[in-house]
Structure 1
């Protein structure tokens, strides 16, 4: 099994027809069919079931499709890494980032880094914290930008300054317009819209203050919290820098005065993997004092 065979198989899996895959690959159908058969023979499993119109991937085929994507992505990343090595501080930096880091990353980190290293280009992969750590472990990205809390494991890390969480709401939910800050107890019985990763933290904090939070909606993207709050469906709980990520034309926000409801952006990397000069320089430029060794 080689990279070429994986490319062939991925084209077949994506097209659902060997004929269409052959056209996409600009090759004849018989050689492509033969490559598929050779791959099945080598692996000792059936990868596809041929139907009247489309092929269907077997369980083994689905597994190989996922692995093939990862292997080809890693192959491309390795090729870029080797090329970048000879270019000094020119080349491409692959970063994985959670949605809630967007404003901080662009305003405070990437803009400054770009001014200092104008020859560097970027490849951004977005997902939740668990996805970003998975991308790091597979070598698809070199640096992850995530939010606390997360499991350090074998990760190197550098924290940015902590920031508070805020309650975002439309004016009709504002119970005290004279105040720009609130105590966490004021959220009792309010319909809350939260980012799923913060659920445990919010529940534990509310419990410590003597009440159970009324969670109206849980979601996997901080931008969704803002959109639902902007639609007047409840009170969103997000980090302060998240406020600019989505439509907030109807929203006001109040900082929650609670030390437990604070979070930090962190740059993370794998301790046991090669770190390019570009990635090391980016991490050095990431503000914050709490750092593990690079």
Structure 2
């Protein structure tokens, strides 16, 4: 299986037609079809369903499509790393971050890093923790900013300061004041909007306080939870930093103080891969002063 064949396969999948794919690749149709046939023979499976008008992916084709994208991206990242080593501290830093950190903690570190290394460019991916871990595992990104827990046997990490969980609602659920705190059991009659990653701990605390919470929505992404809260559909329980996603919005935010629920983020990287010079320098920005000496 050659990278050229993977590129041809992806182009055909995107265009949905052999003719259009050949035009895009600046080759004729017969050699393109031949390479696809050779790829199917090598793998021993049918990747494409062909008819006169279009081609569609088989189930095996969908699997290869996902992996081929990752493999070609990994080749690009590897090429960038090799050039970076040869040329010094420049090149591209690939980072994946959860949405809340992309709006809060990351920008200030990027600003500081850019002043020190202006020749470095950035490739930033955002998503929830699971998707960031997938990108790290595939080698598409070097660094991730995620929330605990994750597999400590696979990743090295620097833990960032804990942050409290807050209750976010459309006024006047908490009254006109936007500050202050709230007890978790004060929300027993409210519809709750929670991130799936925090569902178990929130349920545990609610049960300890003697009530079954009314969970209207669980989500893998914090953004829709805040949107629903802004619409008055319920109260979102989210990490404090995520409130920065909607700067200036009319939302009341109260820290949950009884019990105090916290969450922790970390900068992580794969243990089995040597960090590029650029990534190693970026990681140093997150170490405590006594860790740098």
Secondary structure of the structure 1 residue equivalent to 2:104:
helix
Name stretches of at least 5 consecutive residues in structure 1 with no aligned partner. Answer: none
Deviation at 1:259, TM superposition (A): 5.9
| Distance in 2 separating the partners of 1:181 and 1:96 | 32
Aligned twin of 1:125: 125
TM-score, scaled relative to structure 1: 0.92
Deviation at 1:177, TM superposition (A): 4.2
Aligned twin of 2:172: 172
Aligned twin of 2:216: 216
Q: Aligned in 2, Cα 1:149/1:161: closer, same or farther, shift over 3 Å?
A: same
Contact 1:17–1:55 under 8 Å retained in 2: yes
Aligned-residue Cα RMSD (Å) equals: 2.1
| Distance in 2 separating the partners of 1:55 and 1:111 | 46
Contact 2:219–2:225 under 8 Å retained in 1: yes
Q: Aligned in 2, Cα 1:134/1:207: closer, same or farther, shift over 3 Å?
A: same
Aligned twin of 1:232: 232
Deviation at 1:105, TM superposition (A): 2.9
| Distance in 2 separating the partners of 1:243 and 1:179 | 13
Q: How does 1:1-294 map to 2 (within 5 A)?
A: 1-174=1-174, 177=177, 180-246=180-246, 249-258=249-258, 261-287=261-287
Range that drifts further, 133-142 or 112-121: 112-121
Contact 2:223–2:245 under 8 Å retained in 1: yes
1:169-219 CA deviation, whole Å, 9 max, x = no partner? Answer: 111211584961112222212111112211112111222222222111112
| Distance in 2 separating the partners of 1:271 and 1:41 | 36
Secondary structure of the structure 2 residue equivalent to 1:257:
strand
| Distance in 2 separating the partners of 1:196 and 1:85 | 40
